[in-house]
Amino acid sequence: MGTLFGTDGVRGVANVDLTPELAYNLGRAAAIVLGKLHRQPAVVIGKDTRLSGDMLENALTAGILSMGGNVIKIGVMPTPAVARLVRIYDAQAGIVISASHNPYQDNGIKFFNGEGYKLSDEIEEDIESYILGEKLFPEAKPEGEALGKEIDLSKEAELLYIEYLLSTADYILENKKVVLDCANGASYKIAPKVFERLGAEVVTIGDSPNGVNINDKIGSTHPELLQETVLREKADIGLAYDGDADRLIVVDEEGKIIDGDKTICICAKMLSDMGQLANNLVTATVMSNIGFHRFVENMGASVEITNVGDRYVLESMLKTGCVIGGEQSGHIIFRNYSTTGDGILSSLQFIKAMVHTGKKGSELSEEVELYPQVLVNARVSREGKTAYKKDEEIISAVSAIEDELEGEGRVLIRPSGTESLVRVMIEGRNKEQIEEFANNLAELIREKYGE
């Protein structure tokens, strides 16, 4: 992994870390690297509703055009729409300008290849090498007819994506009331149109983006307003997306949250009942709830476990042939339909499970018993992020907790990928008991390895 691209593209505060100069050079470098594979590469660019999106989009576009690449602009679109439309338009790459569920000041630039998957590490490193000055941009620049051109296909792209989403739903929703929370983000136009086309009565919140209100006390990370709205409107279901609409959090008709773990279980059971759960396998991360594992095993399937992060979930699914996987956060991949998490697609699949079983959201949710889960962070020195793993006293403390839990819970300690923290996660049937265990264990780690 290079120094510029993180696990999810190039991220930072817009116009401070992620400047138009950097975006321009990313565009130039991408056109050069992709130009080695295709004489005049075409790049699809989509964005969420952040104020800085226009600035970064235009800078990227200028960079790509200046090196002879072509740009297909599709405007404000969910991340998974870009991954889909790259293939429809036979482009060599897709770029999403979004910082997902982060506040509006942040932004990011994320690349997909021509198949709709994340760029390979080799291509990312090749692009990086120009930005970091390890390789020089060519002195001879394209001129005249060799320059690239831009076309705006945003209206057509929106229609194509809506048709694609509708093709995954084999039902209509007459006499159903659905509340959509679009997080003032990328789904605000598309999601309501999809559910209206399916015949539902649609109530929408978070559908008035102004450039600075994306994810602001709304969306999949803040579902409180959605819960209130579902109850007030007496709706059948509530569906919350994040800023770039690759996540889904469901709210049932009683106003209770159904997280990603439960949604994956419910949809995996539907696929299993339909004979479509490939290899009887479901993919999840190390953070998935012990109740998730029990549910999947009770339906005769097994769980493939990966590191935290949607890229690892997808890598595992591609290796094993698994067709459903994801995270508690609501980032869920339905591999028969998409190459990445897709909030709107996931919500259509969840409703398919409701239609398929004839059950309400609350009834489906009750079938999956999740255990209480407590997460406590311990701030540590840089050495502490690895040293705790071999510490006999900590190993012994973990073992004592596991004995107390008697197979009805588990302990997971893992270092943060981005901060000087060790995360202590404990699950069990008794919330007060596991809170005490987690706090004591985190305190022990702090005492021995704190900064």
- pLDDT by residue (tens digit) across 131-183? 999 999 999 999 999 999 999 999 999 999 999 999 999 999 999 999 999 99
d(Cα 328, Cα 278) in Å, to the nearest integer?
21
- Fold of the domain built from segment(s) 373-449: TATA-Binding Protein (3.30.310)
168-366 and 373-449 in the same fold: no
The sign one gets for the Cα dihedral 9, 116, 307, 185 is: positive
pLDDT-derived band at 4 (thresholds 50, 70, 90) equals confident
Give me the residue spans of the domains in the chain: 10-154, 168-366, 373-449
CA dihedral sign, ordered 326, 159, 207, 252: negative
pLDDT on residue 2: 52
pTM for the predicted model, two decimal places? 0.92
Task: Report the distance separating Cα 31 and Cα 33, nearest Å.
Answer: 6
Higher pLDDT, 55 or 386: 55
- Mean pLDDT (the chain, rounded): 95
Is the separation of the CB atoms in 65 and 150 below 8 Å?
yes
- DSSP letter (8 states) at residue 106: E
Torsion of CA 93, 96, 100, 102, to 10 degrees: 130
Per residue in 374-402, pLDDT (tens digit) is 999 999 998 888 889 999 999 999 999 99
- pLDDT over 70 at 18, yes or no: yes
pLDDT band per the 50, 70, 90 thresholds, residue 419: confident
For domain 10-154, give the CATH number: 3.40.120.10
- Name the H helices within 105-253: 121-131, 154-166, 190-197, 224-233
Of residues 330, 327, 319, 338, the one with CA closest to residue 281: 319
CA distance 310 to 331: 7
What pLDDT, in 10s, does the model give residues 325-370?
999 999 999 999 999 999 999 999 999 999 999 999 999 999 999 9
Dihedrals φ, ψ of 171, to 5°?
Answer: -150, 165
Reading across the β-sheet that carries 70-76, which strands appear in turn? 10-13, 106-113, 93-97, 42-47, 70-76, 150-152
Per-residue pLDDT tens over the stretch 251-265: 999 999 999 999 999
Report residue 398 as tokens.
């973990």
Q: Looking at the domain that runs over 168-366, which CATH code has it been given?
A: 3.40.120.10
So what's the pLDDT on residue 302? 98
Largest interatomic CA distance in the chain: 74
Which of residues 38 and 252 earns the better pLDDT score? 252
Q: Which residues form the catalytic set? A: 100
229 contacts 81 by C-beta, under 8 angstroms:
no
Predicted confidence (pLDDT) per residue in 301-330, tens digit: 999 999 988 889 999 999 999 999 999 999
Give the pLDDT mean for 65-94.
97
* Tokens representing residue 156 in the block: 């057509």
State residue 1's pLDDT score: 41
